[in-house]
A and B are shown apart, each in its own frame.
Chain A
Amino acid sequence: QKEVEQDPGPLSVPEGAIVSLNCTYSNSAFQYFMWYRQYSRKGPELLMYTYSSGNKEDGRFTAQVDKSSKYISLFIRDSQPSDSATYLCAMLDDKIIFGKGTRLHILP
């Protein structure tokens, strides 16, 4: 079983919709969870991070961690075409382990 699983997509949603991006993981020792956003032809950039379980909100973005289910989510409210990108989840063990990314398209 891979350590971090992420649906590659692509995921296409209409502008203004709520987007839900998810990752599952197998290592219960993970405590620190991150989401990176990668635009085409650019390097990934850190979007949000959370420590342990719970929710964290930043503007239109909410990161959620459910350690009991080994499941993390990123919600994007009022999605915009500028949110079209690949979103990578990442988790910290003794190094950062990245998911393979989900391609998101927001349709105008």
Chain B
Amino acid sequence: EAQVTQNPRYLITVTGKKLTVTCSQNMNHEYMSWYRQDPGLGLRQIYYSMNVEVTDKGDVPEGYKVSRKEKRNFPLILESPSPNQTSLYFCASGNLYGGYTFGSGTRLTVV
């Protein structure tokens, strides 16, 4: 089954403790992206990657890092999480004209 898999689904952490949210896709897509979704603000792009070893900032990249060492994986790294990064995060892969396939989301709470 074609899918984007994110882990974990839920995460509660403390301020400053580094964390990684993993994302993996099995569709051989070159394009992958991370979004955060907040009430009233909609989906906002954090980072995206056009291919292996190619990453670019989206609209809200501050406080986040990504890497794309393999085509299928695109982890999101929060080096020092803060409470304002409490949000629902989505990984997506696909292509512009075919649309994106989204993962099921990671609900992150930073206390």
CA distance A95 to B48 in the complex (A): 10
| Nearest-neighbor residue (CB-CB) of B38 within chain A | A100
Main secondary structure of the interface of B (DSSP, over half): strand
Contact mask for chain A residues 13-36; partner B; CB cutoff 8 A; 1 contact, 0 none = 000000000000000000010101
Known: A32-B97, A46-B100, A95-B48. A88 touches B105 (CB 8 A): no
Counting contact residues on chain B (CB < 8 A from A), the size range is 10 to 19
In whole Å, how far is A50's beta carbon from the nearest beta carbon of chain B? 12
- Contact between B104 and A43 (Cβ–Cβ < 8 Å)? yes
- Contact between A100 and B42 (Cβ–Cβ < 8 Å)? yes
A107 at the interface (CB under 8 A from B): no
- Contact between A96 and B105 (Cβ–Cβ < 8 Å)? no
Q: Which residues of A contact B96 (CB under 8 A)?
A: 32, 92, 95-96
Contact mask for chain A residues 82-108; partner B; CB cutoff 8 A; 1 contact, 0 none = 000000100010011011110000000
Q: Which residues of B contact A (CB under 8 A)?
A: 4, 40-43, 45, 48, 90, 92, 96-97, 99-105
Task: List CB contacts (< 8 Å) of A28-57 with chain B.
Answer: 32, 34, 36, 41-46, 49
- Contact between A95 and B102 (Cβ–Cβ < 8 Å)? no
Q: Which residues of A contact B41 (CB under 8 A)?
A: 100
Residue from B40, B48, B99, B100 within 8 A of A100 (CB atoms) = B40
- Contact between A92 and B90 (Cβ–Cβ < 8 Å)? no
Beyond known contacts A42-B105, A96-B99: 12 more, CB 8 A cutoff: A36-B99, A41-B105, A42-B104, A43-B90, A44-B43, A44-B100, A45-B102, A88-B42, A88-B43, A98-B42, A99-B42, A100-B43
In whole Å, how far is A54's beta carbon from the nearest beta carbon of chain B? 17
In whole Å, how far is B100's beta carbon from the nearest beta carbon of chain A? 7
